[in-house]
Structure 1
Amino acid sequence: MRGSDHAELRAFVAVVEHGSFVKAAAHLGLSPSALSQTIRSLEERLGVRLLNRTTRSVAPSQAGERFLARLRPALSDLDAAVADLRSLRDSPSGLLRINATRIAAIHVIGPLIGPFLEAYPDITLDLVSEDRLIDIVANRFDAGVRLGEMVEKDMIAVRLGGELRLMAVAAPAYLARHGTPATPHDLARHRCINFRWPTDLSLYHWEFEREGRPLEAAVEGPLIVNEPEVACQAALAGVGIAYLFEHQVRPGLDSGQLVHLLADWSPPFPGFHLYYPSRRQMAPPLRAFLDFVAARSRQA
Structure 2
Amino acid sequence: MSNLADISLFLRVVDHKSISAAARSVGISPALASKRLQVLESNLGVRLLHRTTRKVSVTPEGLELALKGRHLVEDLETLTSDLKQVTKEVSGTLRITAGVSFGRVFISPLLPQFLQQHPKLKIQLNLSDETSNLIDSGYDLAIRISSSLESSGLVAKKIISNKRILAASPDYLGKYGSPKTLEELAQYNCLILASGQGREDFLQLMDQKGREHKVKVQGTLESNLGDALYQAALSGLGISLHSEWHIKEDLEQGRLCHVLPEFYKETSIYAVMPQRQFVPLRVRAFTQFIEQQLNKL
Q: Please indicate the TM-score interval, normalised by the length of the shorter structure.
A: 0.7 to 0.9
Contact 1:144 1:276 in 2 (8 A): yes
Match of 2:261 in 1: 263
**Alignment partner of 1:95 is 2:93:** yes
Structure 1 counterpart of 2:116: 118
Describe the shift of the 1:277–1:223 C-alpha distance in structure 2 as closer, same or farther (beyond 3 A): closer
Within 2, Cα distance between the matches of 1:231 and 1:163?
22
Matches within 5 A, 1:57-76: 61-64=59-62, 67-68=65-66, 71-72=69-70, 74-76=72-74
TM-score (norm 1): 0.72
Structure 1 gap segments, 5+ residues each = 16-20, 23-28, 31-37, 53-58
Query: Residue 157 of structure 1: CA displacement?
Result: 3.7
| Paired letter, 1:7 | L
Deviation at 1:264, TM superposition (A): 0.4
Give me the whole-angstrom Cα distance separating, in 2, the residues matched to 1:190 and 1:61: 54
Q: Deviations over 1:267-290 (max 9, x none)?
A: 6x3531213345443322223324
| Letter in structure 2 aligned against 1:240 | G
1:127 aligns with 2:136: no
Shift of 1:123: 1.7
What is residue 248 of structure 1 aligned with on the other side? 246
Out of 227, 230, 233, the residue aligned to residue 229 of structure 1 is: 227
Change (3 A) 1:93 1:50: closer
CA contact (8 A) 1:151 1:157 kept: no
> Aligned pair 1:10/2:8, yes or no?
no
Give the corresponding residue for 1:192: 190
The whole-number CA distance in structure 1 between the counterparts of 2:64 and 2:234 is 54
Q: Deviations over 1:207-231 (max 9, x none)?
A: 3112322233332122222322232
| Residue equivalent to 1:18 | none
AA matched with 1:276: M
**Contact 1:206–1:243 (8 Å) recurs in 2:** no
Tell me the CA shift for residue 130 of structure 1: 2.4
Equivalent pair of 2:192/2:222 in contact (CA under 8 Å): yes
Aligned to 1:287: 284
| Equivalent position of 2:273 in the other structure | 276
Identity within the alignment, %: 24
Whole-angstrom distance in 2 between the partners of 1:298 and 1:171: 29
Q: Which amino acid aligns with 1:275?
A: V
Deviation track 1:9-57 (CA, whole Å, cap 9, x = no partner) reads 3333x48xxxxx69xxxxxx99xxxxxxx99x968994866479xxxxx
Indicate whether 1:143 and 2:141 are aligned.
yes
**In 1, are the aligned partners of 2:202 and 2:217 still within 8 Å (CA)?**
yes
Partner of residue 239, structure 1: 237
Contact 1:151 1:275 in 2 (8 A): no
Shift of 1:4: 7.6
Distance 1:86 1:298 in 2: 34
Contact 2:192–2:199 (CA<8 Å) still a contact in 1? no
Distance 2:71 2:250 in 1: 50
1:262 deviation in Å?
Answer: 0.9
- Per-residue deviation at 1:63? 3.4
1:81 Cα deviation from its structure 2 partner: 4.4
- TM-score, with length taken from structure 2: 0.72
Is contact 2:129-2:226 (8 Å) kept? no
Distance 2:103 2:71 in 1: 29
In the alignment, structure 2 segments of 5+ residues that lack a partner are: 19-23, 26-32, 51-56
Q: Which protein has the bigger strand share?
A: 2
Matched residue, 1:158: 157
Distance 2:291 2:166 in 1: 32
What residue number does 2:204 align with? 207
What one-letter code is carried by the residue in structure 1 that aligns with 2:259?
L
CA distance in 2, matches of 1:294, 1:166: 19
Provide the rounded CA distance (Å) in 2 between the counterparts of 1:283 and 1:219: 44
Indicate conservation of the 8 Å contact 1:94/1:122, yes or no.
Answer: yes
Report deviation, 1:195.
1.9
How many residue pairs are counted as aligned between the two chains?
276
